[in-house]
Structure 1
Amino acid sequence: MTHRSAAITIGLSAQGLGVRRGGTTILSDITLSLPATGSVALIGPNGAGKSTLLRALAGLLTPDHGTVRLGDRPVAALPAAERAATIGFLPQHFAPHWDLRVADLVRLGVERGGTASPDGVAAVLATHGLGPLAQRRWSALSGGERARVLLAMVLAVDPPVLIADEPGASLDVRHRIGVVDGLARRGRDRLCIVAMHDLDLAFRAFDRVVLLAGGRLAAAGTAADLFHDRRLDRAFGVDFMRLETPHGRLLQAVARPDADDIGSGRN
Structure 2
Amino acid sequence: MSATAMLGAAHLFLQRQGRVLLDDISLDLPQRGAVALVGPNGAGKSTLLQVLAGQLAPERGGVALQGRPLRALDVRARARHIGYMPQRFEPHWDVTLHDLVQMRLPDPAQAAQVLVQADLQPLAARRWSTLSGGERARGMLAAVLATDPPVLLADEPGAALDVQHRLALVQALARRGRERLVVVVMHDLDLAFECFDRVVVMHAGRVAMDGVPADLLHAPQLDEVFGVRFQRIAVAPHTLLRARSRPQEETT
TM-score tier by shorter-chain length is: over 0.9
Q: 1:57 and 2:52 equivalent?
A: yes
CA distance in 2 between partners of 1:19 and 1:10 (Å)? 22
CA distance in 1 between partners of 2:100 and 2:237 (Å)? 37
The alpha carbon displacement at 1:248 in A equals 2.6
Find the counterpart in structure 1 of residue 162 from structure 2: 172
Q: Deviations over 1:144-173 (max 9, x none)?
A: 101111000000011101000000001111
The alpha carbon displacement at 1:218 in A equals 0.2
CA distance in 1 between partners of 2:85 and 2:239 (Å)? 26
Aligned mate of 2:220, from 225, 230, 240: 230
Give the root-mean-square deviation of aligned CA atoms: 1.4
Q: 1:108 and 2:99 equivalent?
A: no
| One-letter identity of the residue aligned with 1:13 | G
* Aligned residue runs from structure 1 range 124-163, under 5 A: 124-163=114-153
CA distance in 2 between partners of 1:182 and 1:17 (Å)? 30
Find the counterpart in structure 2 of residue 265 from structure 1: none
Kindly tell me the number of residue pairs found equivalent between the two proteins: 247
CA distance in 2 between partners of 1:239 and 1:63 (Å)? 34
The alpha carbon displacement at 1:131 in A equals 0.9
Runs of 4+ in 1 over 3 A off after TM superposition: 257-260
TM-score by length of 2: 0.94
| One-letter identity of the residue aligned with 1:131 | Q
CA distance in 1 between partners of 2:247 and 2:20 (Å)? 26
Aligned mate of 2:35, from 21, 33, 40: 40
Q: 1:204 and 2:227 equivalent?
A: no
Instruction: Report the 3-state secondary structure (helix = DSSP H, G, I; strand = E; otherwise coil) of the residue aligned with 2:114.
Output: helix
Aligned mate of 1:90, from 62, 85, 93: 85
Find the counterpart in structure 2 of residue 4 from structure 1: none
Identity of aligned residues (%): 55
Instruction: Report the 3-state secondary structure (helix = DSSP H, G, I; strand = E; otherwise coil) of the residue aligned with 1:28.
Output: strand
Find the counterpart in structure 2 of residue 252 from structure 1: 242
The alpha carbon displacement at 1:43 in A equals 0.2
Find the counterpart in structure 1 of residue 72 from structure 2: 77
User: What are structure 2's unaligned runs of at least 5 residues?
Assistant: none
CA distance in 1 between partners of 2:191 and 2:138 (Å)? 18
User: What are structure 1's unaligned runs of at least 5 residues?
Assistant: 1-8, 261-267
| One-letter identity of the residue aligned with 1:45 | P
| One-letter identity of the residue aligned with 2:89 | F
Q: Deviations over 1:176-204 (max 9, x none)?
A: 11111111111101100000000000001
